[in-house]
Amino acid sequence: MSKLKKEIVSLIECRKYDYNLVKESVEKSFEDLGGIGKFIKKRDKVLLKLNLLMKKKPEDATTTHPIFAKALAQVLIEYGAEVIIADSPGGPFNTSLLKGVYKACGIEKIADDVGAKLNYNTNSVEIKNEGGLILKRITAIEVLKEVDKVISVSKLKTHGMMMFTGAVKNMFGVVAGLEKAEYHVRMPNNKDFSNALVDICVASKPVLSFMDGIVGMEGAGPSAGDPREVGVVIASTSPYHLDVVATSIIGLEPTKVPTVQRCVERGLCKGNFDDIDLKGDKIEKFILNDFVIPEIRSLDLLDGKIPKFLRDILNGFLQPKPVFIHEKCVGCRDCVNSCPPQVIEMIDYKPIVNLDECIRCFCCQELCPVEAIDIHRPLLMKLLSRL
């Protein structure tokens, strides 16, 4: 009988963004994983795929913290690798947007400090994805094809549509610019979209995954939630297994997260600790049972519990919806520009959404710079989601 293959997940305690402490934590993580040389060759071009969703200050906990990125880049550069930092943030993928995001998120400065290269190549390329279930081809940022290795560098956060955004969903940022909106339109179904996210991660082939869990985000993530200290650097040989551990730390049953569910169904991980080799600090140090998690509407919530005709009727009442807080709105039109199905219009300088055509991707809330959009979840949906 063959022995079950286990993926390593390393947990290293780090409670603040002190550069020396973070760098030491990253070095310990690499040791736990088997050493840099096991994954990276000297002179390799290594892409650090950060989470740079939008222009946010580091203390907002929306993006990968610059100190975390700096420490990881420095360790790799000292080893002899060439480091390229990249992401395709929300909105159009152009040089002006990239410059603004790199500067606002503190990444421009740390790249200068350590000699890492910032990606300004806004070309896209088609990548074949034979291992994909839904996406057999992906339109990705061209830099993905220009590097030797890819490392996912995610942020521990909640997510309004996917419940949790981790190492797997972080790779959605390799999809070029507004192509991401097209994927939302093509796959409004929660199950299809989470399968697409797994497809994109499979196609990206990250050799390692790191997660900035020093300060995470709870509540209305991925951009309008509240910072929450978790105090951990998480690293793994597998993005799928990293997400299992990270969700467990914040008190989430891993298989309730759509991307983890899809990974289990596809045999990429077990969804529990049976195929995980935990190293570093004890997980009990970090577990938070009161972490605020957003409820999401599962498309399978009522499946098999009531007749289909009743299920279809009830599902109409269970839909969450974006609610625009006009008193906070500054009329910037970011919600209009970021809406994949283009169902938001500005009337008297305020956004109005056609809920009949809304696909509930919540890109509007995700990319609102002033947090003027809430996601309303019906009480019935909250109660049924606990069944």
Domain shared by 212 and 127, yes or no: yes
Structural domain span for residue 181: 7-285
Domain assignment present for 41: yes
pLDDT digits (tens, 9 = 90+) for 289-301: 999 998 765 444 4
Q: What percent of the chain has pLDDT over 70?
A: 91
- The pTM (predicted TM-score) of the whole model is 0.89
Domain shared by 314 and 228, yes or no: no
The mean pLDDT of the chain is 91
Please state the domain count of the chain: 2
Output 292 or 179, whichever has higher pLDDT. Answer: 292
For residue 157, report the phi and psi dihedrals to the nearest 5 degrees.
-150, 155
Determine contact, residues 329/335, Cβ cutoff 8 Å.
no
Domain shared by 197 and 66, yes or no: yes
Phi-psi region of 40 (alpha: psi -120 to 50; beta: other; left: phi over 0): beta
Domain shared by 131 and 185, yes or no: yes
DSSP 8-state class, residue 243: H
Q: What is the CATH number of the domain that holds 179?
A: 3.40.50
Q: What is the pLDDT of residue 174?
A: 97
Map residue 2 onto helix, strand or coil: coil
Domain shared by 215 and 315, yes or no: no
Q: What is the CATH number of the domain that holds 349?
A: 3.30.70.20
Q: What percent of the chain has pLDDT over 90?
A: 78
pLDDT digits (tens, 9 = 90+) for 293-346: 987 654 444 545 556 556 555 655 667 889 999 999 999 999 999 888 999 999
Point out the domain boundary residue: 224, 252, 285. Answer: 285
Domain shared by 65 and 176, yes or no: yes
Residue 119: how many other CB atoms lie within 10 Å: 21
Domain shared by 118 and 162, yes or no: yes
Q: Smallest Cα–Cα separation from 55: which of 106, 124, 6, 130? A: 106
